[in-house]
Structure 1
Amino acid sequence: MKLRTFIEHRLFSKFILAIILVNAVLIGLGTDSSIYANYESIFIATDILILAIFTIEIILKLIVYRQKFFNNGWNVFDFVIVFGSLVLYNTHLVSVLRILRVLRVLRTISIIPSLRRLTSALFMAIPAIGSVTILMGIIFYVYSVIGTSFFGDIAPEFFGNVGLSALTLFQVFTLESWASGIFRPIFTEVVWSWLYFVSFIIVSTFIILNLIVGEIVNNAQELSEHSEEESKDMQRIMKDLDELKQMIKDKEKKTEKEDEGRTG
């Protein structure tokens, strides 16, 4: 019971978060070859210490939660990263180990509740995002065929075939240099081409993208409301428990007084 209280305490979570952030800073500094060469021994020792702390954390959680530990997806994520780092340490699979070291930074998500809710909202939106992606693919294909048909001869480097057209439309979708680099040269040749580009931007960027963002926001809001309800329920339970404890104490005091009265 004391061990469970220890690992679920806020200070323990904050300590693990601090270690994750220190690990992230060290990974960033380690990418500089000159810094790493001068302090290689410190980097290696610190990495071993951080990995040891993470390992102890996972072991403590396994002792407390046992099989229930793996019922939580975030716990499984943490376990895979730490266990993979232990297994691959001092092996020839250095590139894989480096990836796992970088992935340790993602453990920040499993520590901070707000990030967990946001990530869960993103995963919940995947089915809706899949449908929106299919719709976007259809729109891209239709506009690619139209662009190839009307602008293929004018700008073959952008609309020479359906593939090039789709790639060009993706650049337009990101709003990256589309006006000066793509639109204006075509506009000088085909005046009505602005209808093509403006309509595509309105449909793809402003409408479709907002559908995806809106779905994620709605899911995040639902999870936040659910979390608040759970928090309120927990507060009610704790309040009821406190009242019950007080009633028991009052009953015990009353019984003690009655016993004293009888003995007196």
Structure 2
Amino acid sequence: MSIQQQLANLKNNRIFELFVVSVIIISALEIGAKTYDLPPIAATITYFLDLFITVFFLFEITVRFVTEPDKKRFFKSGWNIFDTLVVLVSLIPIQDSEMALLARLVRVFRVLRMVSIIPELRILINSLLRALPQLGYVVLLMFIIFYMYAAVGSFMFKEINSDLWGNIAISMLTLFRIMTFEDWTDVQYETMEVYPLSWIYYLTFIFFTAFAFLNMVIGIVVNVMEQEHNRANAEEAANEPTMAELKQELAEIKQLLQAQNKVKL
């Protein structure tokens, strides 16, 4: 068995995949531990642990590259490019380096490798990215609604509470607070003391933003996620051998066996 085949078996090994995930989790915990003031022994342990994680990630990305039949195809995947950049920049030594800050920041992004390793997480991220163009129009429409209601609120309620309705920018922040239901009734009751019907203003705004637009966003993301699942299933099915290919391979094996038997006779 060739080295490439052995590495391919290692890559497809379930235990190895779980070990990679475990190392990523340990890397996340190690990054979090470095934000505390550690005693010298713990700092030394985290230092050598960081070296091990860096070397292991380098080994893991090398295995994935070597076992890829088409090397150009390897770099066509955005996740492979991301993993490679994270691993390469992680090789920058942290101590006594002008790029120490960059190296520390990139080590934080090693946690995102969990996404590239687990297919389900990749589908979620890809769905969100593919949904962004459609979500852009929803966000634009929501901004228009925010702007209109903020202008009305500033004109009507500025004299009641200038801290919440002083200008259109502050009014938009207040409306964001209302949309997230953060003590929004206090704001409403304050204006209702002067304008008893101002509850219509708040309820219509909440209906448009918290209910209508939120359901739009959920609908778009769910629709794109379903498309992404179908695309992933189609790619998986395309990579699997078809029944016709299996029959052809069996026929070729049968012909080879028959030829060998004739040679022996």
2:250 — aligned with what? 246
2:189 maps to a residue whose letter is: R
Q: 1:38 to 1:177 in 2, by over 3 A?
A: farther
2:213 maps to a residue whose letter is: I
2:203 — aligned with what? 198
2:159 — aligned with what? 153
2:169 maps to a residue whose letter is: G
Q: 1:256 to 1:62 in 2, by over 3 A?
A: closer
1:93-104 alignment runs, 5 A limit: 93-104=99-110
2:224 — aligned with what? 219
Unaligned runs of 5+ in 2: none
Query: When the two structures are superposed, what TM-score results if normalisation uses the length of structure 1?
Result: 0.88
1:70 maps to a residue whose letter is: F
Match status 1:27 vs 2:27: no
Residue of structure 2 aligned with 1:68, choices 65, 73, 89: 73
1:39-118 alignment runs, 5 A limit: 39-65=42-68, 66-90=71-95, 91-118=97-124
SS at match of 2:24: helix
CA-CA distance at 1:256 after TM superposition: 5.0
Residues 92 and 100 in structure 2, CA contact (< 8 A), matched pair in contact too? no
CA-CA distance at 1:195 after TM superposition: 0.6
CA-CA distance at 1:7 after TM superposition: 5.8
53-62 vs 151-160, which deviates more?
A: 53-62
User: Over residues 100-130 of structure 1, what are the superposed CA-to-partner deviations in whole Å (9 max), with x where a residue is unaligned?
Assistant: 1111000100000011011001000111111
Aligned equivalents of 1:63, 1:3: Cα separation in 2: 11
SS at match of 2:75: helix
CA-CA distance at 1:187 after TM superposition: 1.9
Q: 1:38 to 1:259 in 2, by over 3 A?
A: closer
Residue of structure 1 aligned with 2:139, choices 113, 133, 137: 133
Aligned equivalents of 2:238, 2:207: Cα separation in 1: 45
Residue of structure 2 aligned with 1:174, choices 180, 200, 207: 180
CA-CA distance at 1:3 after TM superposition: 5.4
More helix by share: 1
CA-CA distance at 1:192 after TM superposition: 0.8
Unaligned runs of 5+ in 1: none
SS at match of 1:33: coil
Aligned equivalents of 2:163, 2:57: Cα separation in 1: 52
Q: 1:132 to 1:250 in 2, by over 3 A?
A: same
Residues 5 and 67 in structure 2, CA contact (< 8 A), matched pair in contact too? no
2:215 — aligned with what? 210
Aligned equivalents of 2:141, 2:170: Cα separation in 1: 20
Residues 23 and 50 in structure 1, CA contact (< 8 A), matched pair in contact too? yes
Q: 1:83 to 1:217 in 2, by over 3 A?
A: same
